[in-house]
Amino acid sequence: MGIGIILFAVLALFLLFQYHWKRRHLYKISMKLEGPPALPLVGNGLSFLHKQEDFLGVISKIISTYTGPTRFWLGPHLLLLFSHPEHVEKILLSTKLSHKHELYDFIKIYIGEGLVSSSGEKHKRYRKIIQRMINTKFILGNMDTFQKHINIFLEKLSSRCGKCTFDIHEAIHLCCADIIGEIVLGMQMKAQYGQNMDFVHASAEVYTVAYERIMKPWYHPDIIYNFTSGKKEQSRIVSISYNFIKRHITNAIERVRTAKEDKNRIRPLIDQIADVIDKDTSVMDETDFVYNMYTLYLASEDTLTIIIAMLCVCLGMYPQYQKRAAEEVRSLHADTSGTIAYDNLSDLPYLAMCIKDVLRLIPIAPLIARRANEDFAIDDYVIPKDCGIIVSIFDLHRNPKHWENPSHFHPDHFLPDAVNSRHPYAYIPFSAGPRSCVGKQLAYSSLKLIMVNILQRFEIEADGKFPDIVLRSDITTRSVSGYNVRLKERVWN
């Protein structure tokens, strides 16, 4: 018995030594860089044992405390934190640093090896397929679809006019679910009429449930997480979302195989991808088809919802900017009830500046996590293979060196002279390099179109200024207290 215990202890010590010996390159760079003191096993995990609204502040405090690249440990993961545009440019342009970090494995539970979470050749293949589909022709061909759902949205907002403060998020959320449901998934979601709400609500909960597990290292092992309430929520969300998307993929495959080709019809993305797979089944299996469609739905719907909701709040808080944006819309489009043409969306430079500054203040992905798949030099440091890299877009977008009014909504940040004087990587709302967002053009066009319709019909009021808003992070950036506004019918002089 005694010998057995001794042998077991020797074996355990040997395995522990082997584990740490293989990670010695991580410990070496960790000792060279500044960073907060770490504890065994959990690292700096206890620093993030806060409410979600405190997380971004913790990261910002770490960045402001140390001058250069900063290291911290999240459980066994060594993460190097970067927020200077010169460093960010090198990171995002490098193919050596284009692989997603293991922390995204907890996102993969929901979206699998889709466009956002995949790496390597699989990501390149999926990006090539999807990127060529989301083009000007696709956007132009869906303008009527957008307007159809926006008109329902406007009528629902009309019932709020002249009444007390309300949270505009839910109305925008349902409108965007209808839009993306049709142009991406090829279905009539009818969320604005209360249909398919299990899927709509489950999709909204993905970010919160996944974030909680990522930021608590003791939840990382399945053997522990499987006994938590989070596991039950995770299973429920995965079941609802996977089965919902799979059902509509089946419908898309049937449409592709039975329908006659109509070159003038703009097909939803799900039909276009089904057509590609029908011609070459090796490009994507059914599971990855499901996950890619869910990724496209989540990324598109949530981006539009959050940015439009926050832009309404900002324009209400800063009426001088709302007046300029509304006057620009009015000068371009005199008919307050008609629809705007796609070509006219590019003739709204001030509205574009407003959208860009909201994307600066609440970047869709406040942090980007990458993993070095080989050694990579930045300045005097060599980032070793397997080391984690965090780019803080949130802090990059608030650096007073590059932004005149970093904590306020200030569209003049995007006047031509200001843009030209700023480092190009000081502003990366859709990331950059080989992993930049494939839907950037669709996002900007959609955001403009929805805001044009709102500004044509309504005058927005909101209390306070942007620094009064408490933000939280759950993969993306959101307001803790909602998106509270008041509406009045706009009266044009």
Q: Are strands 376-378 and 381-383 parallel, antiparallel or unpaired?
A: antiparallel
pLDDT tens-digit profile of 200-252?
Answer: 999 999 988 988 888 777 888 899 999 999 999 999 999 999 999 999 999 99
- Give the model confidence (pLDDT) of 124-168 as tens digits: 999 999 999 999 999 999 999 999 999 999 999 999 998 999 999
Buried b (16+ CB within 10 A) or exposed e, 153-190: bbeebeebeeeeebebbebbbbbbbbbbbbbbbbbebb
Write down the domain spans for the chain.
Answer: 33-489
Give the three-state DSSP class for 272. Answer: helix
Indicate the CATH number for domain 33-489: 1.10.630.10
The arithmetic mean of pLDDT across residues 302-307, rounded, is 96
Q: What is the CA radius of gyration of the chain?
A: 24
Q: Which position has the higher pLDDT, 262 or 230?
A: 230
339-344: long-range contacts, CB 8 A cutoff, minimum separation 24: 339/143, 339/147, 340/449, 340/452, 340/453, 341/143, 342/139, 342/140, 342/143, 342/445
Q: Work out the average pLDDT over 291-311.
A: 96
Residue 139: per-residue pLDDT: 94
What's the confidence (pLDDT) of residue 435? 87
| Mean pLDDT score, 322-337 | 82
Residue 33 DSSP label: S
pLDDT at 336 over 60: no
Task: Return the pLDDT at 484.
Answer: 97
Give yes or no for residue 1 having a pLDDT over 60: no
CA 125/CA 438 separation, integer angstroms: 13
Q: Are 342 and 143 in contact (CB under 8 A)?
A: yes
State the pairing for strand pair 77-82/388-392: parallel
End-to-end C-alpha distance for the chain, whole angstroms: 93
State percent of the chain over pLDDT 70: 94
User: Would you place residue 261 in the very low, low, confident or very high pLDDT band (cuts 50, 70, 90)?
Assistant: low
Question: Is the pLDDT confidence value at 334 over 60?
Answer: no
- Residue 17: what pLDDT? 66
Scanning 333-398, the segments in alpha helix (DSSP H) are 349-361, 393-396
The continuous run of DSSP H or E covering 460 comes out as strand 458-461
User: How confident is residue 6, by pLDDT bands cut at 50, 70 and 90?
Assistant: confident
**pLDDT tens by residue, 437-460:** 999 999 999 999 999 999 999 999
> In this model, does residue 337 exceed pLDDT 70?
no
Residue linked to tokens 């001030």: 350
Helices (H), 184-228: 197-214, 222-225
Compare 103 and 226 and report the one with higher pLDDT.
Answer: 226
| Token digits of residue 273 | 């991808």
Angle among Cα 431, 435, 440 to the nearest 5 degrees reads 55
Q: What is the pLDDT of residues 24-66, one digit of tens each?
A: 777 777 778 787 887 777 777 777 666 666 677 777 888 888 8
Q: Beta strands of 290-386 (E only): which ranges?
A: 367-371, 376-378, 381-383
Burial 34-59 (b: 16+ CB within 10 A, else e): ebbebeeebbbbebbeeebebbbebb
Ramachandran angles phi, psi of 479, nearest 5°: -85, 135
pLDDT of 26: 75
- What does the chain come to in residues? 493
Q: Which of 211, 193, 95 is nearest to 153 (CA)?
A: 193
For residue 114, give the amino acid letter.
Answer: G
Q: What is the mean pLDDT of residues 458-478?
A: 92
Is residue 461 pLDDT above 80, yes or no?
yes
Model pLDDT, residue 357: 98
pLDDT tier, 259 (very low <50, low <70, confident <90, very high otherwise): confident
Q: 222 by DSSP, 3-state: which?
A: helix
The answer to whether residue 258 scores a pLDDT higher than 80 is yes
User: At 333, is the pLDDT very low, low, confident or very high (cuts 50, 70, 90)?
Assistant: low
Select from 239, 267, 237 the least CA-distant residue to 253: 267
Annotated binding site: 437
Distance CA 240, CA 183 (A): 21
Q: Which DSSP state fits 154?
A: H
Residue 433 reports pLDDT greater than 90: no
Average pLDDT over residues 166-185: 97
Distance of CA 174 to the CA centre of its chain: 18
pLDDT tier for residue 287 given thresholds of 50, 70 and 90: very high
Average pLDDT, the chain: 89
* Burial 83-99, CB ≥16 within 10 A → b, else e: bbbebbbbbbebeebbb
Over residues 348-403, the pLDDT tens digits come to 999 999 999 999 999 988 988 888 888 888 888 888 888 888 899 999 999 999 99
Residues 6+ away with beta carbon under 8 Å from 469? 313, 479, 480, 481
User: Is 60 exceeded by the pLDDT of residue 92?
Assistant: yes
What residues contact residue 21 under an 8 Å CB cut-off, 6+ apart?
none
**∠ CA 397-398-404 to the nearest 5 degrees?**
105
pLDDT number for residue 72: 81
User: Could you tell me which residues are annotated as the binding site for heme?
Assistant: 437
How many C-beta neighbours within 10 Å does residue 71 have? 25
Instruction: Supply the angle between the helices 120-131 and 286-317 in degrees, to the nearest 10.
Output: 70
Among residues 379, 342, 308, which one has the least CA distance to residue 137?
A: 342
**Pairwise pLDDT comparison (81 vs 475), residue with the higher score:** 81
What's the pLDDT score for residue 233? Answer: 95
Give yes or no for a contact between 176 and 306, defined as CB atoms under 8 angstroms apart.
no
